[in-house]
C-alpha cells in the first residue's frame, strides 16, 4: 500500500510544465493547469490512495512544445491506479 503514495509523486512532473513556460500560441493552456493536481500527490504521505490520484497531474505537460517533457505525460495514467484503489477501499 505504501507504493501508492510514491506513485502520486509522479504528478509533480506536471509542475515542470508550469516552470518551463510554453509559448502562448501553443494550444492546451487549460490542460497545463492539470499540473496543479500534482500537488495532490503530496497527500500520498498520509492517504496513499488519494495521493496516487495526484499522478493525474502529469497530464499537464501533455501538449508541451518540448518533446522530452511532453513524453513524461504518460506517467499520468498511473493516477488510474489510485482512483481505482480509492474507489474500492472507501466506497465498496
pLDDT in tens, 21-46: 777 777 777 777 777 777 877 877 78
Number of independent structural domains in the chain: 1
Residue 12's domain spans which residues? 2-90
pLDDT band, very low/low/confident/very high, at 9 (cuts 50, 70, 90):
confident
Classify residue 92 as exposed, middle or buried by CB count within 10 Å of its CB (0-12, 13-18, 19+).
Answer: exposed
Predicted local confidence at residue 62, as pLDDT: 82
Predicted TM-score (pTM) of the model is 0.75
Predicted local confidence at residue 1, as pLDDT: 55
Predicted local confidence at residue 2, as pLDDT: 66
Amino acid at each position: 500500500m505504501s507504493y501508492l503514495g510514491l506513485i502520486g509523486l509522479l504528478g509533480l512532473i506536471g509542475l515542470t510544465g508550469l516552470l518551463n513556460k510554453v509559448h502562448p500560441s501553443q494550444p492546451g493552456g487549460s490542460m497545463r493547469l492539470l499540473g496543479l493536481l500534482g500537488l495532490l500527490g503530496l497527500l500520498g504521505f498520509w492517504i496513499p490512495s488519494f495521493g496516487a490520484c495526484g499522478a493525474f497531474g502529469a497530464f499537464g505537460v501533455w501538449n508541451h512544445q518540448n518533446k522530452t517533457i511532453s513524453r513524461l505525460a504518460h506517467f499520468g495514467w498511473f493516477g488510474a491506479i489510485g482512483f481505482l484503489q480509492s474507489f474500492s477501499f472507501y466506497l465498496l
